[in-house]
Chain A
């Protein structure tokens, strides 16, 4: 299958980027070095091309009702100009995808499925609109919107310089329109790095001009991954997958996205999990011996396998090997001694909360 290229593919290629296939897209994985890019975001700022993320617009009189029925959070409570993190679950309460929903107007929403999920989500929305006999439009705009993330302690200064001083005070999880290089964009105070920052939705045609307005380190998906692992953020398809690693929001520690006072697909199953408590929990793991925990490595306790690492790396910020994964709740308490089996040897490790940088 040929991969879709983001609008700035050639620009990135000329800049020396290495590419990786991701969710059906060929995306830059590294421009200079993952370490350099990672440090830029933690210490100053970096810009990521995340045009592989999906964009689906839902508008019309019943737009809020459709989103309410298909996502776990309370969409009705979302004010215009605000954003909400949410999950999309099936009847069993298993996460199909996680997403951010933006309310652009009273009857106009935009939500961001993960790379490669936009088609499936569009289909799900269209099917349920028909089933529930709702009046709204569902438009998949993935090929029309580029998306950039400008992240790091200097992001507010960079974005306000490029898009107007008003952007400096945009509150977290808010979205507004702003013009950059003659292109009208949407800027949201959201991100996936654990730093302050913005995500910009940019019409495909204006992508190049907007990208060039940001004089900071270009970053690839490699640094995005190390940054989000340090922050303990889930990666769709890896830290949860509806078939290969089915997880509900409580297990994945995103139970805060579930509002059981609303009616949505998967609500009853999740109410049962809420009542009984999840059997397993998403945890952070810090290795105490040399080695790196990687996806699919066994997590062991008392000499027995108890879980698997879902993501892992050498943390560039901490200089220590860290990972994420699931263990039975009995082993999920912080400080619990476990082991990660690396090439046949058990390496000592300790359970932590999934945000490795704490309140830094």
Chain B
């Protein structure tokens, strides 16, 4: 099975993605498939400062609990509150409506994987 890995995003080895244009963060299609039915998402509050690879929340599927790690350092400017009532959006649309938070990124995006590098990791 091959998974979508959008070219314009950057990734962490732990399967989070970040859009360099908007600072939006989510988890990859591969990750949501591995998790199965997502039933709960715990996210930080707006205004919190995160550092790269710091835990920022938790995503739980019926069968497992997984920590979420920030792909960049920055300040949380928005969280996707729709996920509190509809966590299944993470399964249905991981790169779209299933986004998790937006970051005002503090520095240049170093230490992340390109789409090609991430694709290599999951294949």
Contacts and interface: CB of A to CB of B under 8 A. Distances in A.
B39 to A, nearest CB: 4
A16 B33 CA distance: 12
Contacts of A225: 63
A34 B60 contact: no
B37 A34 contact: yes
Interface residues of B, number: 13
A343 B58 contact: yes
A15 interface: no
B36 interface: yes
Given A34-B63, A222-B62, A316-B62, A290 B36 contact: no
Interface in B44-86: 58, 60-63, 65, 84
B30 interface: no
B37 A35 contact: yes
B63 A290 contact: no
A292 B40 CA distance: 8
A16 B1 CA distance: 9
A343 B61 CA distance: 16
Nearest to B34: A18
A34 B58 contact: no
Contacts of A35: 37, 62
Contact of A314 (B1, B42, B62, B84): B62
A30 B36 contact: yes
B40 A290 contact: yes
Interface in B1-35: 1
- Max chain A Cβ within 10 angstroms of own Cβ: one of B1, B37, B61, B84: B37
A29 interface: yes
A222 B40 contact: no
B63 A291 contact: no
A294 B62 CA distance: 10
A33 B40 contact: no
Interface in A1-50: 16, 29-30, 33-35
B36 A222 contact: yes
Nearest to B65: A294
B55 to A, nearest CB: 10
Nearest to B62: A34
Nearest to B91: A33
A68 interface: no
Contacts of B62: 34-35, 222, 226, 313-314, 316
Contacts of A226: 62
Nearest to A30: B36
A239 B25 CA distance: 38
B36 A34 contact: yes
A247 to B, nearest CB: 24
A225 B63 CA distance: 9
B65 A33 contact: no
Nearest to B40: A292
A343 B68 CA distance: 14
Contacts of A343: 42, 58
B62 to A, nearest CB: 5
Given A30-B36, A33-B36, A292-B40, A222 B58 contact: no
Interface string A74-114: 00000000000000000000000000000000000000000
A316 B61 CA distance: 11
A16 B37 CA distance: 16
B65 A222 contact: no
A321 B62 CA distance: 10
Contacts of A321: 40
A314 B60 contact: yes
Interface of B: 1, 36-37, 39-40, 42, 58, 60-63, 65, 84
27 contacts: A16-B1, A29-B63, A30-B36, A30-B63, A33-B36, A34-B36, A34-B37, A34-B61, A34-B63, A35-B37, A222-B36, A226-B62, A290-B40, A291-B40, A291-B42, A292-B39, A292-B40, A292-B60, A292-B65, A294-B65, A313-B62, A313-B63, A314-B39, A314-B62, A321-B40, A343-B42, A343-B58
Given A30-B63, A314-B60, A343-B58, 19 more contacts: A16-B1, A30-B36, A33-B37, A34-B36, A34-B61, A34-B62, A34-B63, A222-B63, A225-B63, A226-B62, A290-B84, A291-B40, A294-B65, A313-B62, A313-B63, A314-B39, A314-B40, A314-B62, A316-B37
Interface of A: 16, 29-30, 33-35, 222, 225-226, 290-292, 294, 313-314, 316, 321, 343
